[in-house]
């Protein structure tokens, strides 16, 4: 869904913070063949796997992986600001709230420095007028808007519901750095139906790359 939400235009540079082995990064690059992508990953093993995946999928000519940590700040990377940034930050920042499935997966589940460190990094990493796209827990929407709101605006929010009759568990938020347009709450995307299908028809089309997760 994060890859489908990326709407970078041809010639633009996109950064994914915390790209892991590159799943969302590669999918976004395939969807946006005219853009150039950079993935940031702090775990050397995951970064190496991401580089292998770029080669395997013939994307090395317009995608690259940088080893680094969100906690270190954007300036430490020595890169110019990007036209667009995207992230799927770890969903939890309180070790007492949730135990990761395995010790080696703690970094993917727990955000060092909390959500504040991630939003601060993204705001530094994108140019003025550039886009910030984040997928996160629905119950952290208020925190996400508050942390981004001082330097970003023109928010668009798309709730992701597991079923049509259940509350949203995730939200995808798109903001523009220094944007001034009113907030827009977009129609929800329902991921599953009750008729035995794994995904709803709309979600299936997006996951298969046949449709985008469009913004207003």
**CB contact set of 164 (below 8 Å; sequence gap of 6+):** 190, 193
Nearest to 181 by CA among 157, 158, 153: 153
- What are the b/e assignments for 112-125, b being 16+ CB within 10 Å? eebbebbbbbbbeb
The CATH architecture to which 2-207 belongs is 3-Layer(aba) Sandwich (3.40)
pLDDT tens-digit profile of 31-87? 999 999 999 999 999 999 999 999 999 999 999 999 999 999 999 999 999 999 999
Tokens 């330097």 identify what position?
Answer: 151
- Residue 108 confidence (pLDDT) above 50: no
213 pLDDT above the threshold of 60:
yes
pLDDT of 114: 86
- Least trusted range by pLDDT, from 103-107, 129-133, 177-181: 103-107
Do residues 29 and 35 lie in contact, with contact meaning Cβ atoms separated by under 8 Å?
yes
pLDDT of residue 102 exceeding 70, the answer is no
pLDDT score at 93: 63
pTM metric for this prediction: 0.89
C-alpha dihedral, 26 to 125 to 152 to 95, nearest 10°: 80
pLDDT tens per residue across span 141-174: 999 999 999 899 999 999 999 999 999 999 999 9
Q: Taking Cα atoms as reference points, which of 194, 186, 184 lies closest to residue 212?
A: 186
Predicted local distance difference test score (pLDDT) of residue 194: 87
Mean pLDDT of the chain: 91
* Residue 70 exposed, middle or buried by CB count within 10 Å (0-12, 13-18, 19+): buried
Query: According to the model, what pLDDT value does residue 200 have?
Result: 95
């Amino acid at each position: 869904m994060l890859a489908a939400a990326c709407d970078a235009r041809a010639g633009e540079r996109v950064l994914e913070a915390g790209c892991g082995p590159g799943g969302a990064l590669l999918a976004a690059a395939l969807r946006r063949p005219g853009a150039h992508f950079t993935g940031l990953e702090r775990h050397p093993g995951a970064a190496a796997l991401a580089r292998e995946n770029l080669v395997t999928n013939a994307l090395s000519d317009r995608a690259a992986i940088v080893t680094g940590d969100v906690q270190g700040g954007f300036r430490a990377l020595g890169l110019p600001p990007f036209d667009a940034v995207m992230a799927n930050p770890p969903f939890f920042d309180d070790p007492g709230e949730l135990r990761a499935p395995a010790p080696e997966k703690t970094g993917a589940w727990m955000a060092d420095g909390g959500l504040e460190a991630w939003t601060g990094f993204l705001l530094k990493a994108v140019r003025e007028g550039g886009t910030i796209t984040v997928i996160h827990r629905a119950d952290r929407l208020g925190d996400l808007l508050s942390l981004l709101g001082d330097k970003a605006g023109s928010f668009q929010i798309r709730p992701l519901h597991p079923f049509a009759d259940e509350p949203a568990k995730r939200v995808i938020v798109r903001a523009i750095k220094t944007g001034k347009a009113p907030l827009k709450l977009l129609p929800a995307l329902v991921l599953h139906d009750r008729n035995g299908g794994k995904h709803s028809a709309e979600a299936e089309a997006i996951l298969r790359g046949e449709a985008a997760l469009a913004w207003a």
